[in-house]
Structure 1
Amino acid sequence: MQSTDRIAAVRFLITVQRWTGLLKWQDENSHDLRTWVKRIYPFALHLPLTFTYIGLMWLEALTSADFEQAGQVLYMSVTELALISKLINIWYRREQVAGFIHELDGDPAYELGNHEEREFWHRQQMHFQRIFYFYIRGSLFVAAMGFSSVFFQEEYELPFGYYVPFEWRTPERYYYAWGYNVIAMTLCCLSNILLDTMGCYFMFQIALLYRVMNLRLQALHRTPERESAPRLRAIFRLHTRVRRLTRQCEVLVSPYVLSQVVFSAFIICFSAYRLVHMGFRERPGLFLTTLQFVAVMIVQIFLPCYYGNELTFHASALTDSVFRTNWLEYSVPTRKLLNCYMEFLKRPVKVRAGVFFEIGLPIFVKTINNAYSFFALLLKVSK
């Protein structure tokens, strides 16, 4: 409870992301052989597995004999297409991401002031950690179910369809295709959920800083002016830095959320189409795996929308917290200072995905509605 580790919730996950080639290593600025290996490691890992595997999935979808066969592959192909946009974004902005994490972790401007703030911070970090560890375990469990469910089928079938350049429906060659499928899909699944976690954590961390400022403002309710004035100035300076962090966070998470929201409607649509044409009695294992996949996809859309909504909500709550201070008994200069701060708060804090929409719960509802509309249209076209 006394820990001041400000990124405790994702400390271990940052290490995992470095080993999976998603984040920059801390000592990549030197010029020795070890550093060179670390720089090319992400490409050596993801090019033969992630990008090649996704290319083979799309080749299978485009060369399918009919629309029903293509629909069995498209639901996962579109999912991995969103992963490519996330990977390109995180690699392109790797320096910015490393600087952002370093500032959240080590900048003394964000130090917690007292035991109550440290306790509050620790409790919220553990709450975030529980949510996303459950999400990560659930996603990996769905992948494991898909890998094992094919062994209960009468015919040879791959867990997640992709183009195989040799005849794999034989006892001798099936496990080669199955093994590559397991390795590549595990890396894709792990990369996807880790990038989701990091994007949500950035928004969660900034929302937490706004909540700390709310707590500090509310603590001034019974504080005399001689103590409140320096604390108010410190809060104003912190707010300026957090607003800058919010703009940086928008740059980092905007492409990821935009691609996820745009593709998610099609992913859910093709997954539901696959469920309709699959049937539970014929393929119970694959049916349950696809159903779990749809549930995970809905959670995957909901989480960034929820944390974006939390950021906006707690930033706008600062206005009420200012009114709860003992401002009626302050002197004229201090009240003028508060008035200037209230004018500053009139500018709403919102995180946008590109220039298209604000990240929040309304866009989640709209995405689900779009998925249902696409699904109904797809059923009519298939008939």
Structure 2
Amino acid sequence: MKIFIDNANGTLWLSLNLLRWVGFLVPDNFEGRKKKLLPFYSFFWFMFIVGIYVIVQTGDLIQVWGDITLMTGTSFLLFTNMAFITKIINVMVRRDAVLAIIDEGDEVLRSERRIEGKAIVKSSNQETSRLLYLYGLLTVVTVFGWAASAEKGSLPLRAWYPYDTSKSPAYELTYLHQSVAVILLAFLNVSLDVLVTSLAAVCRCRFQLLALSLRTLCHDIPIDEKHLVSPEHKQIVHERLRLCILQHQSILESAAKIKTCFSGHILAQFTVSIVIICVTAYTLALETHDNPIRLIAMFSYLLGMMMQVFLYCYQGDYLSEESSDIADAAYECPWYACPIPLRRSLLVIMARSRRVAILTAGGFSTLSLACFVSIIKASYSFFTVLQQVEE
């Protein structure tokens, strides 16, 4: 069995391998004893990373119920954990469909042989990598800031435990668990977000490759004195166009599958993100400047949550835009030199491209930059209400 899962997209490669190593997204290629042990392995990591956290933070939330300041201090990470659980369950339930989408996109990107096409694939990889680096940087600053900001004798994060955490070795073990679990949770949460956004980026890349194929439809095809494709080359152009149509249908089907698999996943994340951004901003507003490391960590967490929403909306917005650009690419090819049946086929492609590929949050909201702005506005509205309640 391979240690690493190969993928043409670097961010997808990282995401797939992290999720595989903790047993959350494992291809069905285990047999015998390994297959029987896999559910226990996955359950162990689930409980270590998020299960215990949800239990102890829910207990703490019950204890401080009614005190808005303490409730917000507990709930911002609790809601993150709840969203994480929703996303993990979704990925594990839809494992086969998700892996099929990944394999299809990977096969297309690896099979690209044109110089211009390879440049498009490389550009797509660089874009997703830059976004991952920024998101990852905010995540690293947040989790290590939390771990380093705890005062002597205190835990990094609020939680209730059925034992005295102020005594040794309970304090050291609990501190270690909180720190390690939060770090793993953060990176796996990033992996789940990157999994979805990278799949959308791969679809975008495939649309760009299709646009290139349409623009170069008559490349190296001689044009006769009547400015038409010569009769002996009509079949070549026809075959190229047929492949473009099949490719277009395949990309649209992949985009539809991504929407089907992750629409609920995105809705859960966006719903929780509105609350988390609001609660984190409220916590920052109340934060004293006595602990600058804690302040930086919380501010980084706020930016990270906004970045998380932005990644989904950014990829969704450009996916729609680039699926629409297929019509322009079809028009840019020398259609005037093609026979009438081929022109009609190009018109069909152009007409179909006007119904753009979209990603949605539960079917309620289309992912776009306008959607991102709406979420930030909603979070700010809740933030002002929370401030008024406290006053």
Taking structure 1 as the reference length, the TM-score comes to 0.91
Paired residue for 1:17?
19
**1:70 equivalent in structure 2:** 71
Match of 1:287 among 289, 292, 295: 295
Contact 1:9 1:126 in 2 (8 A): no
- Quickly say closer, same or farther: Cα 1:49–1:345, change in 2 above 3 A: closer
Q: Is the 8 A contact 2:326 2:350 kept in 1?
A: no
Could you tell me which amino acid in structure 2 is paired with residue 82 of structure 1? A
8 Å CA contact 2:210–2:244 kept in 1: the answer is yes
CA contact (8 A) 2:270 2:361 kept: no
Once the 2 structures are TM-superposed, how far is the Cα of residue 316 of structure 1 from its aligned partner? 0.4
Secondary structure at 2:153's aligned position in 1?
Answer: coil
Using the TM superposition, give the Cα deviation of residue 366 of structure 1 relative to its aligned residue in structure 2, in angstroms.
Answer: 0.3
Matched, 1:105 2:113: no
Which residue type is aligned with residue 80 of structure 1? N
Say if 2:329 is the partner of 1:302.
no
Unaligned runs of 5+ in 1: none
1:136 aligns with 2:145: no
CA-CA distance at 1:212 after TM superposition: 0.7
Q: Are 1:274 and 2:283 counterparts?
A: yes
What SS does the aligned partner of 1:317 have?
Answer: helix
- Give the superposition deviation at 1:50: 1.2
* Equivalence for 1:249: 258
Give identity over the alignment, percent.
22
Q: How many corresponding residue pairs?
A: 373
Q: State the Cα RMSD in Å.
A: 2.1
Secondary structure of 1:179's partner?
helix
Matching residue's letter, 1:291: F
1:10–1:129: 8 Å Cα contact kept in structure 2?
no
Maintained 8 Å contact 2:87/2:265: yes
Q: Which residue of 1 aligns with 2:379?
A: 371
Show the counterpart of 2:117.
117
Offset of residue 8 of structure 1:
4.0
* Contact map agreement 1:143 1:189 (CA 8 A) in 2: yes
Contact 2:15–2:192 (Cα < 8 Å) also in 1: no
CA distances 1:27-59 after superposition (whole Å, capped 9, x unpaired): 23x3x1022223432112112441121121122
Within 2, Cα distance between the matches of 1:191 and 1:381? 35
Question: Offset at 1:138?
Answer: 3.2
- Tell me how far 1:172 sits from its aligned partner: 4.9
Residue of structure 2 in register with 1:213 after alignment: 210
Match of 2:29 in 1: 27
Residue from 348, 359, 364 that aligns with 2:367: 359
Q: What secondary structure is seen at the aligned counterpart in 1 of 2:23?
A: coil
Looking at structure 2, the residues matched to 130 and 14 of structure 1 have their Cα atoms a distance apart, in angstroms, of 18
State how 1:308-327 maps to structure 2 within 5 Å. 308-327=316-335
Distance in 2 (alpha carbons) for counterparts of 1:7 and 1:194: 13
CA distance in 2, matches of 1:228, 1:334: 8
Kindly indicate whether residue 175 of structure 2 is the aligned counterpart of residue 175 of structure 1: no
CA gap 1:113/1:107 in 2 versus in 1, 3 angstroms: closer
Query: Distance in 1 between the 2:171 and 2:39 partners?
Result: 35
Normalising by structure 2, report the TM-score: 0.89
Deviation by residue 1:269-290 (Cα, 9 ceiling, x = unmatched)? 111111122211x322211111
Q: For residues 288 and 171 of structure 1, do their structure 2 counterparts lie closer, same or farther at Cα, with a shift above 3 Å needed?
A: farther
Q: Is the 8 A contact 1:56 1:164 kept in 2?
A: yes
In structure 2, the CA distance between the partners of 1:25 and 1:340, relative to structure 1 (3 Å rule), is closer
Q: What is the alpha-carbon distance in structure 1 between the residues aligned to residue 45 and residue 175 of structure 2?
A: 19
1:263 match:
272
Change (3 A) 1:356 1:60: same
> Does 346-355 or 224-233 show the bigger shift?
224-233
